[in-house]
């Protein structure tokens, strides 16, 4: 069974600064996907970024980028130039195996301060 | 990505009653998922719903409590039966990518906030 661990329950950052959210996972799968989802107070889950395990290049989406370390089973999210609208709960998720299910971490509450 | 709607967006129900939550997608999708998110917690998968087959339930969730229908490729319902205050949660519907080839990427509806008194 897969496990996803987010060791930072809460984090805060000043507007315009950079912050990194940590995620580690455990799996015996060789092919899998990793995701970061954002859930603002509106509770809508929004896909932020995805990484395929077979790709060595780290995924980037505008101000969001990941540091994927497959051997270490680490998948961190870096948010550059933080904005007030980035305030949300961030969930790391793992997808692998034949059932197409996602396993979510417990989440990190990120607060961006003005 | 897909556009997903859920009804109702929120409800307050009395214990012992049942509530049916609807999930509608703007395109045909292979897999639909139902999650529960208890207050301040992460998402827990209740079941996977495929069109034309029985839903597959996760450990700790049973069909009698959470019956699911999937009549076509764009619609599903989740019923929360014989509710108790412990069922107070956000219930989320999600779908995989509407390409016909599942890739684990899921898109979520806006959720239904259920309060049981």
Walking along chain B (117 residues) 10 residues at a time, the average pLDDT comes out as: 92 97 93 93 93 89 96 95 97 82 83 97
B57 touches chain A (CB under 8 A): no
Tell me if B42 and A99 make a contact (CB, 8 A cut-off). Answer: no
What are φ and ψ of residue A85, in 5° steps?
Answer: -70, -10
d(CA A10, CA B87): 26
Question: What residues of chain A score a pLDDT lower than 50?
Answer: none
pLDDT of A31 reads 87
pLDDT of B117 reads 96
Chain centroid to CA A91: 6
- Contact assessment for residue B109 and residue B4, using Cβ atoms and an 8 Å cutoff: yes
A-proximal residues of B, 70-99, CB under 8 Å: 90, 92, 94, 96
Cα angle B13, B18, B21; round to 5: 90
Contacts of B50 in chain A (CB under 8 A): none
For chain A, list the domains and their CATH numbers.
3-113 (2.60.40.10)
pLDDT of A42 reads 83
pLDDT of A10 reads 97
pLDDT of B31 reads 87
B16 touches chain A (CB under 8 A): no
Which residue of B37, B42, B57 is the best one to mutate when testing the A interface, meaning the one whose CB has the most A CBs within 10 A? Answer: B42
Residue in this structure with the two tokens 């999650």, named with its chain if needed: B35
A45 touches chain B (CB under 8 A): yes
pLDDT of B102 reads 60
Residues paired with residue A86 on neighbouring β-strands, in sequence order: none
For residue B70, give how far its alpha carbon lies from the nearest alpha carbon of chain A (Å).
17
The secondary structure of residue A42, as a DSSP letter, is: T
pLDDT of B46 reads 96
d(CA B47, CA B68): 8
Which residue of A101, A108, A109 is the best one to mutate when testing the B interface, meaning the one whose CB has the most B CBs within 10 A? Answer: A101
Work out the burial of residue B65: count CB atoms within 10 Å of its CB; fewer than 13 is exposed, 13-18 middle, 19 or more buried: middle
pLDDT of B101 reads 63
pLDDT of A102 reads 92
């Amino acid at each position: 069974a897969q496990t996803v661990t987010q060791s930072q329950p809460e984090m805060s950052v000043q507007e315009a600064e950079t912050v990194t959210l940590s995620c580690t996972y455990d799996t015996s799968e060789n092919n899998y996907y990793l995701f970061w989802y954002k859930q603002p107070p509106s509770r809508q889950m929004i896909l932020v970024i995805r990484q395929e395990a077979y790709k060595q290049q780290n995924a980037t989406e505008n101000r969001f980028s990941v540091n994927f370390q497959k051997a270490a089973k680490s998948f961190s999210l870096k948010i550059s130039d933080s904005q007030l609208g980035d305030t949300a709960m961030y969930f790391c998720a793992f997808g692998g195996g034949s059932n197409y299910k996602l396993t979510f971490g417990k989440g990190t509450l990120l607060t961006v301060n003005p | 990505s897909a556009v997903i709607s859920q009804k109702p967006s929120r409800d307050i129900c009395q214990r012992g009653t049942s509530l049916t939550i609807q999930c509608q997608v703007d395109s045909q999708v292979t897999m639909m998922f139902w999650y529960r998110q208890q207050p301040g917690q992460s998402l827990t998968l209740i079941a996977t719903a495929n069109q034309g087959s029985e839903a597959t339930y996760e450990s700790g969730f049973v069909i009698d409590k959470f019956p699911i229908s999937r009549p076509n490729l764009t619609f599903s319902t989740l019923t929360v039966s014989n509710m108790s205050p412990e069922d107070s949660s956000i219930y989320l519907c999600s779908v995989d990518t509407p390409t016909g080839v599942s890739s684990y990427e899921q898109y979520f509806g806006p959720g239904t906030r259920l309060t049981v008194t």
